[in-house]
Amino acid sequence: MIPARYAASRFPGKLMQDLAGKPVIVRTYEAAKETNLFDEVYVVTDSNIIYETITSIGGKALMSVKEHECGSDRIAEAVEHMDIDIVVNVQGDEPFTEKESLKKVLEVFEGDDADKIDLASLMTEISDWEEISDPNTVKVLTDKDNFALYFSRSPIPYPRDKNACAKYYKHKGIYAFRKAALMDFYRLPMRPLEASEKIECLRYLEYGKNIKMAITDVEGIEIDTPEDLEKANRVLTGNVSSVKVNGQEIDHPVYSKLRNFPMVPKVIFGEGAFNQLHHILSPQRKKNAPFIFLVDDVFENQPEVVNRLPLELNDKLIFISAASEPTTMQVDNLVEKIKTEFPVLPSGIIGIGGGTLMDLAKAVSLMLTNPGGAAKYQGWDLIKNKAVYHVGIPTISGTGAEVSRTAVLLGPDRKLGLNSDFTPFDQVVLDPELTKNVPADQWFYTGMDCFIHCVESLNGTFINAFSKSYGEKAYDMCLDIFYKGNLSENEARAQLMMASWHGGMSIAYSQVGAAHAMSYGLSYVLGTKHGIGNCIVFNHLEEFYPEDVAVFHEMMKKQGIELPEGICRDLTEEQLEKMVSVAMNMTPLWENALGADWKEKITNERLRSLYLKM
Ligand code: NAD
Ligand code: ZN
């Protein structure tokens, strides 16, 4: 049941406001339906407009007859004559209500103590004192079995003993009632605690009902104000202006002009640097805790590299194929495997390989100390705990993954990085000799990732002196290697290794652009790998980067590279649409490439026709 009152006091008509193309109430209704958790979903409203909006999309709506004080009363009236067991109250202004939270609330009715439960609700832990003391945030205390003891707008418990580490929980407005409890609520008059705190669920406690609380760690967005609506719009269009960190709203790092980010604190460079690995790792070794080496499986047949790995005691070597882009599931499996085999956290994770292995090593080291699956942390600053010590040793140059603040993973819903202050490596070993056996075409594709990072950063609207200083240097180094060809093989290897580093630093303070946005589309739909995907796209981007695409064509010729053609020709309409929409959703990338008004400059049609050329 979704109670929907038209006249909200703080934000009149909010449920009919547009949220990424649909009214808020329609988004909420669809979200509730999509969970597949309910036999029926109804919107219960006092408004003809809302009623008609929902029924016009084939949804179910009920008009309430009476005036109601609160949502529970509205629902009670609606279900009074229905033959139902449990009814769930989903707030009309919570379009992001997601399945996991609802499921948790419903699951409490399957526990051993189910008989005792009159209703269930949801809470989430909060730690920011400002939020804890905010009277708009309702706090809840529970007993050891998670039955609610009290709800209050005051901070409860009072932290007299600062060392006691009391936990604070915020109440979230989702309820699942047994019908009898709901009908009781409807009939019984308000009592003093509810009247004082203005918290509905106190009425249940005041009449001796049992409320069982489920715990969630998902923070939804409620739409209480026009600002909330704008934020929700940005979230749905992938265009997020701010994020919540420890309960505080901060500028979204992608949009903020100023960024405060960690750089790799230790780096060793030069031929033979790899031989120092033993000395580098020794001081980090903890008793009984192994080092885990994640190594690209091309080295399985290269004893000259594998035999130099300083494996000791219970250290573990895991070969990993880089044949496809790294996934959140792959990370979860590796973490599971390590945790099962070793009773203690490893001393460190050492990643050896290309961008794929760099990202896997970063992600595994993060997920060893952060609970739950990796998909949950795709995004900005969602990681809460420091990673285990991690070392990156690139064996192919170009991505900048060795220096970046992100670990890009393909998840169930999207391709997005674990972007956090804990992501960068603690140590990087740059030994150009390790890149000796990279095949020529792969050398070009990954090298071009660096070239394209520089082009997109230098031509973007986010450009600044910091990014320029790194980007221009890396751009010139790429020209030496792939265009002028004035370097020996050894020099070229060393130079591309440093160009990769500088290219990575350049985008750290700006952003990539049109080529990466479109390449993400290719990779999402066709599984095209990052390096070659960028090349395929960039090859056709004259209209965005005319001079640099001309240089790129020259470099292809000089390096004897031929790219596959017509890869989008046989796509179904649906696939093509998906590709365009994945690319279009990369808001910060387009904003960097074309400016804040990018939506007026690029259309779905234009992207479509570009893809069809590729
Ligand atoms: P990769 O790691 O997928 O490796 C490409 C190929 O080169 C693989 O077949 C690999 O086995 C082989 N290879 C690597 N080293 C070799 C060596 N010394 N000798 C012979 N073969 C070798 O490719 P990549 O282009 O380095 O990385 C692409 C990945 O990096 C993508 O998953 C992309 O998402 C990611 N990426 C991450 C960032 C970041 O900041 N985290 C930036 C850009 C790209
Ligand atoms: Zn890239």
Q: How far is the CA of 478 from the centre of ligand 1 (A)?
A: 17
Ligand 1 contact via 404 beta carbon (within 6 Å): yes
Question: What pLDDT band is residue 245 in, cutting at 50, 70 and 90?
Answer: very low
Q: Mean pLDDT across the stretch 344-365?
A: 98
- Position 238 scores a pLDDT of 52
Read off the pLDDT band of 73 (50, 70, 90): confident
Res. 364: pLDDT tops 80: yes
Using the predicted structure, report yes or no on whether residue 256 has a pLDDT greater than 90.
no
Select the more confidently predicted residue: 96 or 89: 89
Cβ–ligand 1 contact at 437 (below 6 Å): yes
CA of 534 to the centre of ligand 1 (A): 13
Give yes or no for residue 17 having a pLDDT over 70. yes
User: Quick check: CB of 435 below 6 Å from ligand 1?
Assistant: yes
Nearest ligand 1 atom to the CA of 323 is 9
CB of residue 360 inside a 6 A radius of ligand 1? no
- pTM assigned to the model: 0.68
Quote the ligand 2 centre to 446 CA distance (angstroms): 8
356 Cβ inside 6 Å of ligand 1? yes
Pick the residue with more confidence: 509 or 95? Answer: 509
Enclosing H/E stretch for 508:
helix 489-508
For ligand 1, is residue 200 a contact (CB within 6 Å)? no
Cβ neighbours of 423 (radius 10 Å): 23
**Atom from ligand 1 closest to the CA of residue 415:** 34
Pocket test for ligand 1, best of 304, 399, 444, 451 (most atoms within 8 A of CB): 399
Contacts of 46 (CB under 8 A, 6+ apart): 5, 6, 63, 64, 67, 68, 74
Classify burial at 593, counting beta carbons within 10 Å of its beta carbon; exposed 0-12, middle 13-18, buried 19 or more. buried
pLDDT-based confidence at 519, cuts 50/70/90? very high
Whole-number percent of the chain with pLDDT over 70: 95
When pLDDT is cut at 50, 70 and 90, the band that residue 209 belongs to is very high
**Distance (Å, whole) CA 9 – CA 17:** 15
Q: Which residue's entry shows tokens 């580490």?
A: 165
What's residue 250's pLDDT?
A: 47
Helices 440-458/546-559 angle, 10° precision:
170
- Determine the Cα–Cα distance for residues 590 and 594; give it in Å rounded to an integer: 6
In this structure, which amino acid lies at residue 357? L
Per-residue pLDDT for 10 more than 70? no
- Banded pLDDT at 343 (limits 50, 70, 90): very high
CA of 417, closest atom in ligand 1: 41
Please provide the average confidence, as pLDDT, over all residues in the chain: 91
Among 296, 364, 529, the mutation site with the greatest number of ligand 1 atoms within 8 A of its Cβ is 296
Virtual torsion, Cα 528, 531, 534, 536, nearest 10 deg? -70
What are the pLDDT digits (tens) for 145-154? 999 999 999 9
